[in-house]
Structure 1
Amino acid sequence: MRVTVMGAGGFVGARLVQRLREQGHEVLAWQRGAESDFLQPMGHVVYAVGLTADFRSKPLETVEAHVCLLKRLLEHGQFDSLTYLSSSRVYGADGPSDESAKLSVAPADPSDLYNLSKLMGESLCLHSGGPRMKIARLSNVVGLRADPDTFIDQLLDEGCRTGRVQLRSALASAKDYVALDDAVAMLAGLALADASGIFNVCSGEAVSNGQIVELLQRHMGFACEVAAGAPVLGSGAVDAGRIQRFLGFSPQPFAVYFPEFLADFKQAKGMT
């Protein structure tokens, strides 16, 4: 099949391009600015364009990436289906995390700009009248990346520089983490599937800071401490029922893939 990956230079997009090509598909890695390509047959489109860590300092660029470029694609694009990469962050810290849950945002909170823009992108897709619109709410992805722009990456960066890490959230804080290869496997399956609607692309497992710290101490030798008065943060596990039933796929447990990730990290950094 022909698949066009928008955001192919990103962390998830690049690995998705690699996997789809390994499966024998014709994959077009869309280059930012090449909007004339929208007028050509794009096949199945995966929309992985977006900002993450720097969205607070780049609000206009965030909305352009998550909404405005998407609007132009929906208006002019020639595609068979579209899979829009959203985020499980939209669920917030409390409440249910199934795909039918009602969500809340606070426009006055600068942190909610990300959620607002992703939800607008989701709504545009679902109500544009286009063919086979799929929303992939992606949870926290664990894998080797160039820039330490996630919580785990920042801990590893700090530990490699100082030999110790300090957590500013309590050990009981928990999030849903999913291995990069598992996330990409689910995205590839979803992108080519005859389906529509919202799917959580996640592990369904709540991983606590305490679990992360224990493995960093055991495998990396880092000393770990928690800042005084650190709050309990995080949204816990994300409901993985729909994606697992639809694809018949069960992601690896954190206790299995995270030590393997740490071994790969050490090798990449020349620490072994």
Structure 2
Amino acid sequence: MTATQGTASHYTILGATGFVGSHLLRHLRQTGQACLAPGRDEDPALLGDLGHVIYCIGLTADFRQRPLDTVDAHVCVLRRLLAKATFTSLTYLSSTRVYANASDTRESASLLVNPNEAGNLYNLSKLTGEALCLHGGRPHARVVRLSNVIGPRADPDTFIDQLLAEGARTGAVHLRTALASRKDYIHIDDVVALLARIARSQQGGILNVASGQGTSNAEILEILSREAGYVCTADEDAPAWQFSPIDITRLQETYGFRPRDFQEYFPSFIQSQSS
């Protein structure tokens, strides 16, 4: 099965000042694509035909401190877009965080959330946005669940960013999670190239965009020690993250995706951040 290209000639990036949105906008313009990038105070529904919309609006690290803004970003802006806007296709960016504590990470899996836990607000709002996108009555809408994306950020706030900041500041990195803990990481360049193709396809439903394999904390520390010379340690008996590998079978079969290996791109990313 292959992806069939849509006919619209331009893209609209919502959330173009954020991490993924800014890299996506740059990639599309560098490849000669026409792009709209509405500001935060603009109503995209008033801008006419939006072409292929890629919805990158979202909160990440600060969602616990901004619960109302989180729901607005993940659900309310989307609702207004679906009600009023003219577009050829809509690609809504969600997150593989919704698989927290799940053993099945296929796109068709049933997921559990607990509203009693503050951290579940992120997952609940993303899943609400996903359902609204898929069942809001507009054709050619789909969901992309993104993994942990590696790349230069204007406001570094991820686990990897924190390790690099600590190493640059002190010459050492100390972990409070187990060395055996694993997460799925994917490079921003792979992400934006995929999003450009997905947005123009006729594929619907949900699609995992991830590497499909976990990288352990031990592997990360080994690269930091070798490439940056940081002294790397970890707490004994530290708690371990429990994340199941992300299933990317549909991504591979539909788009022929072959992710770059973490060991390949992470050393050069370290050097770029220290220069």
TM range (shorter): over 0.9
The structure showing larger relative contact order (alpha-carbon pairs under 8 Å, at least 6 residues apart) is 2
Report the alpha carbon displacement of residue 208 of structure 1 after superposing the two structures with TM. 0.5
> Which residue matches 2:119?
111
> Which residue matches 1:100?
108
CA deviation map 1:125-169 (0-9, x unaligned): 000111211100000001111222100000000111111111111
> Which residue matches 1:72?
80
> Which residue matches 2:3?
none
Q: 1:87 aligns with which of 63, 71, 95?
A: 95
Q: 1:27 to 1:224 in 2, by over 3 A?
A: same
What RMSD over aligned residues (CA atoms) do the two structures have, in Å? 1.2
Which of 7-16 and 224-233 deviates more? 224-233
Report the alpha carbon displacement of residue 262 of structure 1 after superposing the two structures with TM. 1.3
Equivalent residues in 2 for 1:177-256, closer than 5 Å: 177-256=185-264
Q: Output the amino acid matched with 2:264.
A: V
How many residues end up aligned between the 2 structures?
267
Q: Tell me if 1:156 matches 2:164.
A: yes
Q: 1:9 to 1:163 in 2, by over 3 A?
A: same
Q: 1:55 aligns with which of 59, 63, 69?
A: 63
Q: Tell me if 1:13 matches 2:21.
A: yes
Q: Normalising to structure 2: TM-score of the pair?
A: 0.94
How far apart, CA to CA, are the structure 1 residues paired with 2:191 and 2:40?
23
Q: SS at 2:37's partner residue? A: strand
> Which residue matches 1:263?
271
> Which segments of 5 or more consecutive residues in structure 1 lack a partner in the other structure?
268-272
Q: How much identity, in percent, do the aligned residues show?
A: 51
After TM superposition, the runs of 4+ consecutive aligned structure 1 residues lying more than 3 A away are 36-39
Contact residue 87 and residue 137 of structure 1 kept, 8 A: yes
How far apart, CA to CA, are the structure 1 residues paired with 2:249 and 2:198?
14
Contact residue 107 and residue 208 of structure 2 kept, 8 A: yes
Report the alpha carbon displacement of residue 187 of structure 1 after superposing the two structures with TM. 1.2
Report the alpha carbon displacement of residue 3 of structure 1 after superposing the two structures with TM. 0.5
How far apart, CA to CA, are the structure 2 residues paired with 1:184 and 1:227?
36
